[in-house]
Chain A
């Protein structure tokens, strides 16, 4: 895969990343070199692999558990808050 500046900008948009002009120009050639190296995987035959279908789900259902109120407070106190709620930027 040869990445043009527009491809890099598109991926950066998907990943919600602002890039510096230096990053925009260097990532294209670097990601092209890295994916060229990774492309050797395309030669491996994998038709007969069970893969992840052989795995079982070990996760339990999500459930609410009580936690130390003091640790909760420390966790929440590190961002911007208003009236006890975490404040975010306007979405629309």
Chain B
């Protein structure tokens, strides 16, 4: 019994009925990682010993009668979340040997919930990218077609769950990094409202849009994981003060009477025509299920990618300033003065995309340019937020494609950073406005004899995770695409 055959909810029943133990589930996942991950390269670290110890403890808790949603469930965490006593590298050479002294809040909450951490997953260095090709330790492959990328930056997490290496994985989403890989790998990927999940122990990229969320096979599983990690944290002052809602409560309520907004220009020429056809049949199906489809406009969202690629480099150029080779991390001792020491450590420790973004952010914040770039982008960001505020006075959910196309080939876009940035075209808006947004499996296209998945995005108003999940579940029930799995 492994994570390929079972969802969290199904494994939960088997664990609670005593038909399987957490140690057995954990061993099955570890065996599958051992068998498959040399081809996929989804994991940067596998902690078999720690996982088996955690599984034994979970079995003790289960035998003593304790019942809770994630008790004994094996998972993987994106390697940008601090994990006490284990390497936390952000897929960067600059942190290659860094051992986290404490757990991120998301990790410690899963630990108390009894979930079993198997290891850490690959990503674009410091989460800078949309393909996982920017990892200093080599790219991850897409389980649906090993010649293609899994998306990014949470590509390791997505590939691992799609391949059944774990029951779920944690990802992080700053401008689409959970949703886009979920769409490339036939998964559910949920970016919660900004502040819903504590960022304590997450290596900061863009502090004003960084979020943590689950990659799972089903919507129900996403609700279970989010409930375990969400909620206020005194160690992150930007967490929302209210306790998260009961995400299971309305999950099966359906979409009858729900108002779903669409932006017709999103379905024009840049969208793969096969995806466009799928969008229209999905909207028809949702209408049949009782939803009302309403045309809306989000005029300033056309600027979301240029705004995002000013704000993100600006914030990360500041956040990554702490990596200087002093106190921890990659260090070249031969430099003879402090300025040269900084330059050599940072220049050789960071990869090309991290450096490109630091450069862009340094420029956007530099004297003489900050008004034209950074302040202008912040002003347009307010207009983007207003777009959404107005839209959510008319509709409950906004429906978009997740990505304009299915997974692309490894290497196809590595020399064109701007093309890579345009991967976020449907995704950056919800990040800039801090809104909850999910990617759900949307169907498949045939590409050279291989079946490739794609996804749809559902965006909700701030704090409306339950509505997003309920709509996603209604869509999932119509098609059950999650049941299809890659052949490995």
Interface pair B338/A31, CB less than 8 Å apart: no
Chain A: number of interface residues, binned into ranges:
35 or more
Chain A residue nearest to B419 (CB atoms) is: A33
Q: How far is the CA of A30 from the CA of B358 in the complex (A)?
A: 13
Q: Is B484 an interface residue (CB 8 A)?
A: no
Chain A 75-86: CB-based contact to B (< 8 A → 1; otherwise 0): 110111000001
Using a CB-CB cutoff of 8 Å, which residues 50-88 of chain A contact chain B?
A: 50-52, 58-60, 68, 71-72, 74-76, 78-80, 86, 88
Interface pair B347/A90, CB less than 8 Å apart: no
Q: How far is the CA of A89 from the CA of B350 in the complex (A)?
A: 20
Contact of A49 among B310, B328, B343, B379 (CB under 8 A): B379
- B residues within 8 A CB of A18? 343-344, 346-348
Can you list 25 A-B pairs with a CB-CB distance of less than 8 A? Answer: A1-B363, A8-B359, A11-B362, A12-B359, A14-B362, A15-B358, A16-B339, A16-B342, A17-B343, A17-B350, A17-B355, A17-B359, A19-B347, A19-B355, A31-B359, A34-B360, A35-B360, A38-B373, A44-B383, A49-B382, A68-B102, A75-B328, A86-B327, A89-B341, A90-B338
Once A18-B343, A40-B306 are accepted as A-B contacts, the answer to whether A34 and B421 lie under 8 Å apart by CB is: yes
Max chain B C-beta neighbours (<10 A), residue from A12, A18, A75, A80: A18
Once A31-B363, A50-B382 are accepted as A-B contacts, the answer to whether A41 and B307 lie under 8 Å apart by CB is: yes
Q: How far is the CA of A92 from the CA of B479 in the complex (A)?
A: 67
Q: Is A5 an interface residue (CB 8 A)?
A: no
Chain B residue nearest to A15 (CB atoms) is: B362
- B residues within 8 A CB of A1? 363
- A residues within 8 A CB of B306? 37-38, 40-41
Chain A residue nearest to B300 (CB atoms) is: A44
Interface pair A78/B327, CB less than 8 Å apart: yes
Chain B residue nearest to A34 (CB atoms) is: B418
Q: Is B173 an interface residue (CB 8 A)?
A: no
Interface pair B363/A89, CB less than 8 Å apart: no
Contact of A78 among B98, B309, B356, B359 (CB under 8 A): B98
Max chain B C-beta neighbours (<10 A), residue from A40, A78, A89: A89
Interface pair B380/A44, CB less than 8 Å apart: yes
Chain B: number of interface residues, binned into ranges:
35 or more
Q: How far is the CA of A14 from the CA of B369 in the complex (A)?
A: 14
Once A58-B238, A78-B99, A90-B337 are accepted as A-B contacts, the answer to whether A15 and B317 lie under 8 Å apart by CB is: yes
Q: How far is the CA of A40 from the CA of B350 in the complex (A)?
A: 30
- A residues within 8 A CB of B342? 16
- B residues within 8 A CB of A16? 321, 324, 339, 342-343, 346
- A residues within 8 A CB of B343? 16-18
Q: Is B372 an interface residue (CB 8 A)?
A: yes
Interface pair A88/B358, CB less than 8 Å apart: no
Interface pair A71/B337, CB less than 8 Å apart: no
Q: Is B237 an interface residue (CB 8 A)?
A: yes
Interface pair A41/B359, CB less than 8 Å apart: no
Known: A11-B359, A49-B382. 14 other contacts (CB 8 A): A1-B363, A8-B359, A11-B362, A15-B358, A16-B343, A18-B346, A23-B352, A38-B309, A41-B303, A41-B373, A46-B379, A71-B101, A78-B327, A80-B331
Using a CB-CB cutoff of 8 Å, which residues 361-401 of chain B contact chain A?
A: 362-363, 366, 372-373, 376-380, 382-383
Max chain B C-beta neighbours (<10 A), residue from A59, A76, A79: A79
Taking the nearest CB of chain A, how far is it from the CB of B361, in angstroms?
8
Taking the nearest CB of chain B, how far is it from the CB of A58, in angstroms?
6
Interface pair B355/A41, CB less than 8 Å apart: no
Q: How far is the CA of A88 from the CA of B366 in the complex (A)?
A: 27
Contact of B309 among A17, A34, A44, A76 (CB under 8 A): A34
Interface pair B356/A71, CB less than 8 Å apart: no
Q: Is B5 an interface residue (CB 8 A)?
A: no
Interface pair A23/B355, CB less than 8 Å apart: yes
Q: Is B417 an interface residue (CB 8 A)?
A: yes
Interface pair A46/B376, CB less than 8 Å apart: yes
Taking the nearest CB of chain B, how far is it from the CB of A44, in angstroms?
5
The 6 closest A-B pairs by CB, nearest first: A18-B347, A74-B101, A46-B379, A79-B327, A78-B328, A16-B342
Interface pair B303/A33, CB less than 8 Å apart: no
Q: Is A6 an interface residue (CB 8 A)?
A: no
Chain B 71-113: CB-based contact to A (< 8 A → 1; otherwise 0): 0000000000000110000000000011101100000000000
Q: How far is the CA of A78 from the CA of B100 in the complex (A)?
A: 10
Q: How far is the CA of A79 from the CA of B380 in the complex (A)?
A: 42
- A residues within 8 A CB of B362? 11, 14-15
Taking the nearest CB of chain A, how far is it from the CB of B299, in angstroms?
10
- B residues within 8 A CB of A78? 97-99, 327-329
Contact of B99 among A15, A17, A74, A90 (CB under 8 A): A74
Chain A residue nearest to B95 (CB atoms) is: A78
